[in-house]
Every structure is written in C-alpha cells, then in structure tokens.
C-alpha cells in the first residue's frame, strides 16, 4: 500500500516539472537524483570494505550531470580531471592495501553510473525544438513504468520460469514477456499522444529496446545490491527503497534513447 501512496504523491510533481517547468528545474531534479544515487553506491561499497573518495565523487557527479546542459564544460574534460584527481588522492592517502584498487574503482564507477548515465536524461529533455524533449521524457517514462507494471502482474499471475535466479529470484520469463508487451503498447500509445511524427513501427521498436534495456538496468542494480547483501540501497522512498532502486531501469534505457536522438534526431 505504501508503494501506491508514495507513487500517487510523487508522480504529479514529477509530471509538473517535466511538462511545465523550465529546463534548469529538470536539471536540478536530475542533480539531486544523481547525488543520491552516488551516495547509495558509496554506501554499498563500504559494506564490502571499500573506501571511496566521496568528496571528489560528489563534486564530479554534479559537473557530469550539468555537462548535458548548454554552456557547461564538456564531459570529456570533466572525466579527465576526475581520473587525475582520484589518482592524486590515492597517492596522498598512501598505505596501499588489498582494497586500494577497489577504493579507486568504486570512486570512479559511481559518478559514471549514477551521474553520467542518468545525466543523459537531461540531454533527452533538451533534445529537439519546442516541447519535443519533454515528450520524449514522457515517452521513456511511459515505456519503463508500464513495462514494470506489466512484468509485475504477469509474473504474479503466470510466472514459473526464473529469469535470473542468482541475481533477482522474483523475476520470471513470463513477467519479462508481459512487461515487454506492456512497454511496446505504451510506446505506441505515447507516440500517438505526444509524438505523432514518429512512425508507429519505429515507436514500437524503440519501446521494445528501451524496455529490455530497462530490465538489464534493473538486474545490474540487483547484482550490486546482492554483492553487498542488502535488499534496498536505502530507505529514502517509503515502499520503494532508495534512489537507485527507483531509477535503476533508467540508467540503461535513458542513455540509449539519448544516443538515438543524437543519431537520428527528435
């Protein structure tokens, strides 16, 4: 019940930011989500005995997400400076141990995963003329949310064969099929409502690809949680877990949509 109540409370403000707020407000929302995700990743890493350079990671995450906003420093320059800073900080910390390599890798991975991948959603929001970027964000959210819903109910009703039992025991092949069908249907409907210039066949293919990538993102996040021995990355959102738990499907699907819009156009 708490999942439903939380969704009903959070969804209207999110839609208001997407549809009516200026781009900088959406950027601010992405910044908050990115920083929360990085913090949760660093917390997971600490459970495995790794000590990330948190201050560097938080600062770089902020600039990585902002790099998708016009007039910001390029992502390439930010990543180069990032790696150099982590290298220098590692030397200054000294006292190398078996965990040192993990400390460095964790520091670098978290901003690239929770910052760079999510930051592409800002690029989607800014894609194309007029309001098309807003509608592409809605398109993506419709695909992912309906895919999750379809997978949940289809899995509960007909789920028998496990999809990835060692990573996420509750996911089934039947749920995957139901979620994929629901996601494609959502893509077709969303394209007619928001993006009528997009051919239905192209919208359906996009829905299929984004849905499958969303499942992959979900499984990857589950893999990280299992490695740390936790069910949720945090208790930030009642009934939903942490920021990573709520956004896991977007970490793989948003970059794919961003790449599509860069290559093909909005």
Q: Which residues pair with 168 in a beta bridge?
A: 164
Look at residue 129 in the predicted model and tell me its pLDDT: 74
Query: Exposed, middle or buried, 172 (CB in 10 Å: 0-12/13-18/19+)?
Result: buried
The rounded distance, in Å, linking the Cα atoms of 220 and 8 is 27
pTM over 0.85: yes
**Which whole number is the average pLDDT over 48-72?**
95
Look at residue 7 in the predicted model and tell me its pLDDT: 63
Helix (H, G, I), strand (E, B) or coil at 180: helix
The rounded distance, in Å, linking the Cα atoms of 140 and 247 is 12
Look at residue 11 in the predicted model and tell me its pLDDT: 83
Name the pLDDT band for 29 (thresholds 50, 70, 90). very high
Helix, strand, coil percent values for the chain (each to nearest 5): 75, 5, 20
The rounded distance, in Å, linking the Cα atoms of 98 and 48 is 12
The model's pLDDT over 94-141, given as tens digits with 9 standing for 90+, comes to 888 888 999 999 999 999 999 999 999 999 999 877 678 999 999 999
- Residue positions counted in the chain: 266
Highest averaged pLDDT of the listed ranges 9-23, 117-131, 149-163, 174-188? 174-188
Q: Which residues pair with 162 in a beta bridge?
A: 172
Residue 2 has pLDDT above 60, yes or no: no
> Residue 238: CB partners within 8 Å, gap ≥ 6?
2, 5, 6
Paired tokens of 227: 């490695």
Nearest to 57 by CA among 119, 123, 106: 106
Q: Which residues pair with 241 in a beta bridge?
A: 237
**Which whole number is the average pLDDT over 152-167?**
88
Look at residue 169 in the predicted model and tell me its pLDDT: 86
- CB atoms near residue 86 (< 10 Å): 21
Residue 3 has pLDDT above 90, yes or no: no
Name the pLDDT band for 236 (thresholds 50, 70, 90). confident
The rounded distance, in Å, linking the Cα atoms of 110 and 125 is 23
Angle at 58 between CA 55 and CA 64, to 5 degrees: 135
Look at residue 266 in the predicted model and tell me its pLDDT: 58
The rounded distance, in Å, linking the Cα atoms of 35 and 42 is 11
Nearest to 209 by CA among 266, 156, 139: 139
The model's pLDDT over 242-262, given as tens digits with 9 standing for 90+, comes to 899 899 999 999 999 999 999
Look at residue 58 in the predicted model and tell me its pLDDT: 97
**Which whole number is the average pLDDT over 83-103?**
92
**Which whole number is the average pLDDT over 70-98?**
93
Number of helices followed by number of strands (H, E) in the chain: 10, 2
Helix (H, G, I), strand (E, B) or coil at 163: strand
Residue 175 has pLDDT above 60, yes or no: yes
């Amino acid at each position: 019940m708490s999942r439903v109540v939380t969704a009903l409370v959070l969804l209207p403000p999110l839609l208001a930011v997407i549809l009516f707020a200026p781009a900088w407000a959406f950027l601010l929302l992405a910044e908050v989500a990115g920083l929360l995700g990085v913090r949760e990743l660093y917390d997971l890493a600490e459970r495995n005995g790794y000590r990330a350079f948190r201050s560097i990671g938080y600062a770089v995450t902020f600039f990585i997400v902002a790099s998708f906003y016009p007039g910001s420093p390029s992502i390439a320059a930010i990543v180069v400076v990032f790696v150099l800073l982590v290298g220098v900080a590692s030397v200054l910390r000294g006292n190398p141990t078996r965990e040192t390599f993990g400390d460095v890798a964790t520091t670098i991975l978290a901003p690239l995963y929770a910052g760079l991948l999510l930051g592409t959603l800002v690029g989607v929001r800014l894609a194309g003329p007029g309001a098309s970027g807003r509608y592409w964000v809605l398109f993506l959210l419709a695909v992912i949310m309906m895919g999750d819903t379809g997978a949940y109910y289809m899995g509960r009703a007909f789920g028998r064969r496990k999809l990835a039992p060692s990573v996420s025991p509750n996911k089934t092949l039947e749920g995957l099929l139901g979620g994929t069908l629901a996601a494609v249907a959502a893509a077709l409907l969303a394209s007619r409502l928001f993006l009528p210039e997009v051919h239905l066949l192209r919208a359906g293919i996009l829905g299929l690809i984004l849905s499958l990538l969303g499942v992959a993102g979900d499984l990857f996040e589950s893999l990280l949680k299992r490695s740390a021995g936790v069910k949720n990355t945090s208790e930030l959102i009642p009934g939903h877990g942490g920021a990573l738990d709520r956004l896991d499907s977007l970490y793989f699907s948003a970059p794919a949509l961003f790449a599509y819009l860069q290559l093909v156009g909005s």
